[in-house]
Structure 1
Amino acid sequence: MSDSAADNYAGVYGNRIGFGKRPALVLIDFVEAYFDRDCDLYADVEEALASALRIVEEAREQGILVVYTKVEYHPSGINGGRFFEKALPLRHLVEGSPMGAWASGLEPAAGELVVSKQYPSAFFGTSLASTLTAAGIDSVILTGLTTSGCVRASCVDACSHGFIPIVVADACGDRHDGPHEANLFDMNAKYADVVSEAEIIDYLKSL
């Protein structure tokens, strides 16, 4: 077995599915908690947001469905279950908290979809899969926070629901480069095609 992950996976994992014909863009949890330095959830993810905003602009230009997700809990946390118990910083995301507001520069437009969730995946416990299926969507372009958490969970569930997952590396962020890079590597190996912002912009323009 090679010491290099790329060599070890070569020829086994890493096949590319390619882009779908009718995509939706999903922006996962770009909320103020990750941008406020006084919040436990703060991460250095401004560049990921900037990338996502550029992608949103192109998606709107091409008439692509744009979906936003945010985590939001009852003030008691009762609807967060074990996730709320385990991940203590989630207390910042109860209903009405300013930490749950959209990050600066991000604002859903009329006709765009907002999904409220209580668990990592954008699909678990929500109507997102049935909504996308009914709209004839065959693929999801995933951006958001954090790469190792809600982005990964959404990626795996997108694959499990039969959508082609496309993860935009530049538009995803995490608390540390280690989990970020490791999860991008693993998603690309097994579940999704991980692409750059430039690749996804070119694809959207082609539509």
Structure 2
Amino acid sequence: MTDSASAKRWWVELFESRDGGGYNPGHWSARNSLGRRPALLVIDVVRSFTGDEGQSLEEAVAAFPTACGPSAWDAIPRIKQVIDLATAEDWPVVYTTALPGGASLYGGTVKSELSGLGSPMDLPGAQDIPDAIKPPENALVFAKPKASAFFDTALVSYLIRRGVDSLVVTGATTSGCVRATVVDGHSHGYPTFVVEDACFDRSRLSHGVNLFEMNAKYADVVTASELIERVQR
């Protein structure tokens, strides 16, 4: 993504006010190299975060308190595009889900569990990946105990064994598990790419603010079509 393209993003426009004064084009002018061996991470695209296709956000949340509703189903076709790209290019593909019972073993993933709302890890559908993005053969699928795919998991060992030198991140939620994974991926030294239209959140504002901040600090934010074009070049 070029600087001029970055300036046109709708989530950049969120900061075109006094609040954006602390940021300048230098924050996102440095661009990562995709590397020779990327890995695709599909973070927590499970029924408890998506709800059922065709539901409104209100209907999805009534059935699944953590659901994102239509924004999830808008993103799923783009997630499938990126999975197909990764499969065609023979990239390692990793899916994460919630770890059942993880809160009782390791503590909660979010502070709302302290108020008796229960753990997102134990909700119905927290391990159910939609058929539309069924893991391809040889994909790694594992349950994680916290927001980040890196925290107390064997992900780094897997990436090293597979010779991975950069990360492409998709999934849910942009402000939660995606951002936590991106920060940890960057902290482990991996050039990291977030596919904006292959991630989702229940709030468009939260989705946009977190895309902006990840792009400024930890990752390159690209669209699925931009990623495909970069690989084809």
TM-score, length of structure 2 as denominator length: 0.80
Identify which of 61, 67, 71 aligns with 1:42.
Answer: 67
Residues 71 and 93, structure 1, Cα contact 8 Å, conserved in 2: yes
- Secondary structure in 1 matching 2:189: coil
Q: RMSD between aligned alpha carbons?
A: 2.1
Number of the residue aligned with 1:61:
88
Distance 1:51 1:90 in 2: 31
Aligned counterpart, 2:205: 178
Give CA deviations for 1:143-193 in whole Å, capped at 9, x if unaligned.
000000000000000001111110000100001011100000000001000
Mark the runs of 5 or more structure 2 residues left unpaired by the alignment.
1-15, 52-59
* Aligned mate of 1:162, from 189, 206, 231: 189
Spell out, residue by residue over 1:69-125, the C-alpha distance to the aligned partner (whole angstroms, 9 max, x if none). Answer: 1112228x3124032663466635329x43421123121122111121010101011
Query: Aligned partners of 1:154 and 1:92: how far apart in 2?
Result: 17
SS of the aligned residue for 1:181 comes to helix
CA distance in 1, matches of 2:222, 2:21: 20
Specify the SS of the correspondent of 2:27. Answer: coil
TM-score, normalized by length of structure 1? 0.89
Whether the 8 Å contact between 1:33 and 1:41 is mirrored in structure 2 is: yes
Partner of 1:94: 122
Please give the residue correspondences for 1:1-207 in structure 2 after superposition, counting only pairs within 5 Å. 3-4=17-18, 8-14=22-28, 15-36=30-51, 37=60, 38-43=63-68, 44=70, 45-74=72-101, 77-83=103-109, 86-87=112-113, 91-94=119-122, 97-206=124-233
| Contact persistence 1:29–1:70 (CA under 8 A) | yes
Q: Which moved more, 1:183-192 or 1:18-27?
A: 18-27
1:6-38 residue CA offsets vs partner (Å, 9 max, x unmatched) = 554114411222322210011000000122211
Identity of aligned residues (%): 34
Structure with the larger helix share:
2
Contact 1:144 1:172 in 2 (8 A): yes
Cα–Cα, structure 1 residues 16 and 122, in superposed 2: closer, same or farther, change >3 Å? same
Describe the shift of the 1:204–1:185 C-alpha distance in structure 2 as closer, same or farther (beyond 3 A): same
Contact 2:46 2:125 in 1 (8 A): no
> What one-letter code is carried by the residue in structure 2 that aligns with 1:9?
Y
- Structure 1: 5+ residue stretches without partners: none
How far, CA to CA, are the matches of 1:16 and 1:6 in structure 2? 20
Matched AA of 1:13: H
What amino acid is the match of 1:78? Answer: S
In terms of mean alpha carbon deviation, does 5-14 or 28-37 score higher?
5-14
User: Matches of 1:119 and 1:99 in 2, distance apart?
Assistant: 13
Aligned 8 A contact 2:43 2:169 in 1: yes
Q: Check whether the contact 1:74–1:94 (CA below 8 A) recurs between aligned residues.
A: yes
